[in-house]
Amino acid sequence: MRSGVAVALGLALLGALGCSSSTVDANGSDSVETPSDALELEIGPDARTFVELAKPAVLELSGQGETSIAWDLAFQGRGVFTNGGVSGPGSASAFGPLSAPTFLSDTAPQAPLMQKDRSGSAFLDWYDYYGDEHTLFSRYHVYGLRDGDRLFKVQVLGYYADRLGAPVSGYYSIRYAEVSSDGGSSESREITGIDARAGGSMPSDSEPSACVDLDSQDVSMLTPDQAGESDAWHLCFRRETISVNGGVSGGRGIESVDLQGAETADETEAEIQARTAASELASFEAVDHDALGAPTLSWKEDGVATAFAERWLELGSEPLAVSDATWFVIAADSVGRYLVKFESLTGDPALEQATLGLRAKRVME
């Protein structure tokens, strides 16, 4: 073992032996401190369990924590929520998954964007993040949209545009077509340069981003609040997030589904990066009315999307287990920087009370 690695592992072990966990009430008073290399907490389907990361510790709060900035992360079912965006009044945000060894670092990792909780749809996993180059690659999955009796198929072609000879993030390209009940499809159409920057890597809710009407191809620049009050769009693009006009995102009732969602867990970086708009055209053209009408599809309106999604879990594991990934979290106070990893899970919190083991460490910028 090289000396640098040995030192890093030694420091990590010393840190683990020296940390502790506790439970505090909402006013910050300590109770029952227990030496441990992980905070153990009970999570389940019926109520949120709140955690502040400085200790780390569980907080006793009522409701959804909508009036408190004391918590950083909350757990309910298989959801991990941050105290920011649509989930809470704080300024928390997160990014991941990052490789397991990232947890050994004492400095904050470089992240291309930090995600507050936001509305999200079946498009949540449209990309794969390549950490070596801090780049988002489209998976080129084909998505279905259901707008009343009408059906569309959509494929994301890219997230970058050429500006003055250099690639700039936050500009989407898509192709789509309406699929009719007689088995045919309308002519495939493309929209490029869809501006989803929304103020940069730390977007503000006061900054607009592009919302697209698939019939007219009109693009409206709307804030999230404005989008929620408008029926004049099908898809909204905001940094890495794609929303549909239904559920928490809007009142039009549009639903979406990832037709290749079952493949996500087994896709490799090499496979994804080899895909192009040309190579994936055949899979787009193959989607017909029968494919979009399959009774096994799980159509959904937008719900709350978080940086964690279900990526903190090991997909397909039985019994359910946690991923070995590391997550970077900015605290609700917008100051604290933390690395978070999940170490153990007993039970399925979507069905019953389960015990989760969590580790968190503060890092420097």
- pLDDT category at 26 given cuts 50, 70, 90 is very low
Neighbouring CB atoms inside 10 A of 345's CB total 21
Give me the mean pLDDT over the 318-333 stretch.
Answer: 96
Flag the least confident range among 31-45, 78-92, 162-176: 31-45
Higher per-residue pLDDT: 14 or 274: 274
Residue 222 has pLDDT above 50, yes or no: yes
pLDDT over 70 percentage in the chain: 89
What was the pLDDT predicted at 154?
A: 98
Phi, psi of 261 (to 5 degrees): -60, -30
In this structure, the strands spanning 57-60 and 20-25 are parallel
C-alpha–C-alpha distance, residues 339 and 363, integer Å: 7
Report how far Cα 152 is from the mean position of its chain's Cα atoms. 24
Give me the mean pLDDT over the 58-73 stretch.
Answer: 94
What was the pLDDT predicted at 18?
A: 36
The radius of gyration of the chain from alpha carbons, rounded to an integer in Å, stands at 21
C-alpha–C-alpha distance, residues 103 and 154, integer Å: 37
Give, in order, the Cα–Cα distances in Å from 355 to each of 21, 42, 132, 349: 15, 5, 34, 8
Q: What is the pLDDT of residues 169-214, one digit of tens each?
A: 999 999 999 999 886 788 999 999 999 999 876 667 789 999 999 9
Residue 218 has pLDDT above 80, yes or no: yes
Neighbouring CB atoms inside 10 A of 338's CB total 22
What was the pLDDT predicted at 181?
A: 83
Residue 21 has pLDDT above 60, yes or no: no
- pLDDT category at 121 given cuts 50, 70, 90 is confident
Give me the mean pLDDT over the 86-111 stretch.
Answer: 93
Higher per-residue pLDDT: 98 or 9: 98
185 closest CA partner among 195, 175, 176: 176
Q: What is the pLDDT of residues 132-168, one digit of tens each?
A: 888 999 999 999 999 999 999 999 999 999 888 888 9
324, 341 contact by CB (below 8 A): yes
C-alpha–C-alpha distance, residues 7 and 219, integer Å: 54
What was the pLDDT predicted at 186?
A: 86
What was the pLDDT predicted at 24?
A: 43
255, 243 contact by CB (below 8 A): no
Residue 12 has pLDDT above 50, yes or no: no
309 closest CA partner among 179, 115, 142: 115
Give me the mean pLDDT over the 284-295 stretch.
Answer: 95
What was the pLDDT predicted at 201?
A: 64
- pLDDT category at 338 given cuts 50, 70, 90 is very high
214, 176 contact by CB (below 8 A): yes
What was the pLDDT predicted at 203?
A: 65
Q: What is the DSSP string of 214-263?
A: TTT--EEEE-HHHHHT--S-SEEEETTEEEESSBTS-SS--EEEETTGGG
Residue 17 has pLDDT above 80, yes or no: no
Give, in order, the Cα–Cα distances in Å from 23 to each of 40, 60, 78, 340, 363: 10, 8, 22, 18, 22
Global confidence as pTM: 0.67
What was the pLDDT predicted at 202?
A: 65
Residue 332 has pLDDT above 80, yes or no: yes
Give me the mean pLDDT over the 64-84 stretch.
Answer: 95
C-alpha–C-alpha distance, residues 175 and 111, integer Å: 28
152 closest CA partner among 160, 166, 162, 142: 142
